[in-house]
Amino acid sequence: MNLPASPPHTHDLRKGRFSEPSHTYLLTAVVHERRPVFTDWPIGRLLVNELRAAEQDGLAQSQAWVVMPDHLHWLITLQTGTISKLMQRIKGRSAISINRALGNQGQLWQKGFHDRAIRKEEDLQAIARYIVANPLRAGLVDKIGDYPLWDANWLR
């Protein structure tokens, strides 16, 4: 049996991964084949609902996030569990609701995700600003307020 080849370096995404409650991480997940699924704002809201549910369930505290057309950036402080379990939940539950809404089935997300532990001396507010400015840098909007799929702890 020939298994499909994994994207280059997919296995490297797990090397050295360590999850520590009360630590802050920048997590990035990409849609399979970089399909721009989230240009449909109501579909993007289904992903946002899962981010909020994870927060309400005490798994993570969202610091900032932006849902781009084909990927997610999410700055969180882990509350319980591991970042791998958290991302498995977010990607799994969002895939179910999004596929249902689109009348699709199958893979929504690329395998794996990217994570970066944030050092205590790093400025979380500056990282959050960088995250939510993604739509501006991508030329999707002229003002961040015109983009509907983002949030930051400092603006609530």
- Indicate whether 146 belongs to any domain: no
pLDDT of residue 121: 87
Alpha-carbon distance values, 77 to 37, 109, 117 (Å): 26, 22, 10
Q: Give rounded-to-5 percent helix, strand, coil for the chain.
A: 40, 20, 35
Q: How far apart are CA 89 and CA 18, in angstroms?
A: 17
pTM exceeds 0.75, yes or no: yes
- Read off the CATH number of the domain in which 109 is found: 3.30.70.1290
pLDDT digits (tens, 9 = 90+) for 7-66: 454 444 445 567 887 899 999 999 999 999 999 999 999 999 999 999 999 999 999 999
- Indicate whether 34 belongs to any domain: yes
Residue 53's CB is within 10 A of a number of other CB atoms, namely 14
Q: Report the domain count for the chain.
A: 1
